[in-house]
Structure 1
Amino acid sequence: MTTSNLTRTTKHWDIFCTVVDNYGDIGVTWRLAKQLAAEYHIPVHLWVDDLHSFSHILPNLDPTLAQQTFNGVNIFQWNTPLDIEYVAGEVVIEAFACELPKQVKWVIERLHKQPQSSAPHWLNLEYLSAEDWVDGCHGLPSTQPSGIKKWFYFPGFNHKTGGLICEKNLFNERDQWQASPNNKMRLFEELGLSGIRVNDTVISVFSYESAALTALINQWQASPKPMHALVPKGRSLTSLAPFLPVDVTDLIPGQQFKMGNLTLHILPMTDQTGFDRLLWSCDFNIVRGEDSFLRAQWAAKPFIWHIYPQEDDYHLVKLQAFMRIYCDNLAAQIAATWTEVNLAFNQGDAKAVVNHWQQLNSVILPLQQHAINWPNNALNDADLASRLVQFVKNS
């Protein structure tokens, strides 16, 4: 470590991310890093501990390289200890309470102690939640044992929070895409999905394991019109194993299995732009985690959110908090039907999820219109990146 690095920062921002559940945490931080670089021209250094998982959503990434650049973002392999000399940026973000490397903390502490230095802003980017307590905790400082303040930044659904990740042109791009059915049909062809007609019902499935999913697949086979379930290799397929003639591990993208009036398609992995377009192209999306959950909302289509299970069913508290705000201006019957199908799916209640799914048909048109209106209401005139940049300026 050179002495000069203890008295200066550069204009870049550092974001540290540990990959959890393969794609969730890195999905959020990668979108944020790209947006900061593209829209605010901020040099971003993204430190990631698992480049192999990261490469699933960034196919051109080489997991063997310690440093590489994509979309204006410098991506570094985060080893312990760091094997690259660390120079602090203006802002240091630890995503989702990951523990900063000791070398990084050491540099930050000494920069704060140097009277002539420019000490970085230290932020903890928290998970997205619609719970009421988030409003009061967003933007609060936490004084560390060293005396340095770390600020807690909470994404959220109102002006009292840190906002939601959304690129400036996203909604216009979505509307242009959805204006012509040719776009979705071309995408399905590019993904190797055959046999889908323009008016067939198409559902994307990116969930955890659930008996509720098994029950829905069984129900969809008896659909009065052709249906297609698009499922990537991963945890969702574990619940579909009883329907498959081959072992889940032997499945390959492009395979399809016809079961009654339902066709199950095995999806290839795609980058984030491709995933957005997939959500835009489906009639209904089943998603999980945080990144996919938010992108399903921006897709302006009805969806089920399979939230990550937590001890003592605390995830259901988070789910219900979101459902309350999502259904705030929905008619009672529509709100109840959508809420119950989400709750049943998350509780793995096979019988209930089928019953409530059947009831969706009676409310699907107003639910679709609500899904179209929701994104603009949820964004609250300011996205997460713009609020984050302003937060740093103000603090």
Structure 2
Amino acid sequence: MSAVRWDLFCRVIDNLGDAGVCWRLAADLAARGEAVRLVIDDPSPLAHIAPDGAAGVEVLRWRDDVALPAEVDVVVEAFACDPPPRYVAQMAGCTRPPCWLNLEYLGTEARALRSHGLPSPQLEGPGRGLTKWWFQPGFGAGSGGLLREPGLLAARAAFERDAWLQSMGWPRAPGEQVAVLFSYAHPGIAQWLVALASRPTLLLVPQGPAQPLVRAALGPQLRQGALRALQLPWLTQSQFDRALWSADSSVVRGEDSLLRALWCGSPFVWQLYPQRDGAHQRKLQAFLEHWAAEAPLPRAASEWFVWWNTEAAGPPPRRPDAGAWRAAVLAWRDRLAQQADLTTQLIGFALAKR
């Protein structure tokens, strides 16, 4: 059976978010034998997160005159980015058009999940006569699932933290815990660092908005009390995953990093992109409700999620019991791992509509 051919369109808004999700999907599809063309308006983030590319993935810079190859079976637009009108018109002109999907942002609220699998007939414009299908990633039954490549959890289980940290030049001292901070700006970071400095801690800070905030709070030596921080260079996605695997706890931002922290199985906090209308607060609340419905989540852990997503935050709440927090993460991770992953569901959905 010949490979199914996919065109995946991506516009970069948050360069490590949109590009990161699309690259993981493209690479996962290709690893399963599919042929993928990633059409992206700004491929520069890929030089950091995937400098070696992936077999079976062709990267093409987005242009308005990009053409529809005759052999394409599935067209995915990530996050309602709308392929170029000329390309859509070519789809409409096909005797047997490719399956056209809109891959949405990760959904936590019920209203978002209700859109999964729904058709959107195109009644006007260059795609008139076509049907675009909504594909909604999510945590519960009835959603499109979550990105999780085959073998991920086995690789996590076999991971040797100290050997990897040593190989990267970031060895931890005896007795040090490891934390990862990959966040947006937050007014309470300095206070959070003070709390973290109460016990020996190696803090890994990947590239992003947190780096200058940590430098300002800790000074040029990047030390305070029992805390020492390392400001990391750009990491590939594989390296970022392993940094999370090395951590006893982590703070992550965005949807791709959320899922990687969840599959890691260690205590974590998710900081959502703040929105003026408070939509991020509603999304966070729905996320915590999903979690609580599947596995007990310590109240103190919920308070950390709320604190990291409150702009006018006061002092950090008391730190949750690490064992209970880890158990809650593992319980939900193991429940979610029983569901079909997003790529498996996406392939099945597209072929059924094709």
Q: Which residue does 1:65 correspond to in 2?
A: none
Is residue 292 of structure 2 the alignment partner of residue 327 of structure 1? Answer: yes
Q: Counterparts in 2 of 1:305-324, with a 5 A limit? A: 305-324=270-289
Q: Counterparts in 2 of 1:1-395, with a 5 A limit? A: 11-39=4-32, 41-60=33-52, 70-82=54-66, 85-88=67-70, 89-111=72-94, 117-144=95-122, 145=124, 146-177=128-159, 183-194=160-171, 196-221=172-197, 223=198, 225-246=199-220, 257-331=222-296, 334-352=297-315, 354=316, 356=317, 358-360=318-320, 363-395=321-353
Counterpart code for 1:22? N
Distance 1:329 1:100 in 2: 37
Deviates more, 1:320-329 or 1:232-241: 232-241
- Classify 1:342/1:86 alpha carbon distance in 2 versus 1 (closer, same or farther; 3 Å): same
Shift of 1:153: 0.3
> TM-score, normalized by length of structure 2?
0.92
Distance 1:235 1:190 in 2: 26
| Partner SS for 1:308 | coil
Distance 2:294 2:141 in 1: 18
Counterpart code for 1:371? V
- Percent identity reads 35
Count of residue pairs the alignment pairs up: 346
> TM-score, normalized by length of structure 1?
0.83
What RMSD in Å do the two structures reach over aligned CA positions? 1.8
- Classify 1:153/1:210 alpha carbon distance in 2 versus 1 (closer, same or farther; 3 Å): same
Counterpart code for 1:171? L
Distance 2:340 2:295 in 1: 23
Distance 1:43 1:329 in 2: 36
Distance 1:233 1:384 in 2: 28
Q: Cα deviations across residues 169-227 of structure 1 (Å, max 9, x unaligned)? A: 111111111xxxxx212222233224x12531111011100012222012222x1x201
Counterpart code for 2:42? D
The structure number with the bigger radius of gyration is 1
Deviates more, 1:230-239 or 1:161-170: 230-239
Distance 1:318 1:245 in 2: 35
Distance 2:285 2:155 in 1: 31
Distance 1:329 1:105 in 2: 41
- Classify 1:244/1:214 alpha carbon distance in 2 versus 1 (closer, same or farther; 3 Å): closer
Shift of 1:350: 4.0
Deviates more, 1:118-127 or 1:364-373: 364-373
Task: Kindly indicate whether the alpha-carbon contact (under 8 Å) linking 2:145 and 2:339 is maintained by their aligned counterparts in 1.
Answer: no
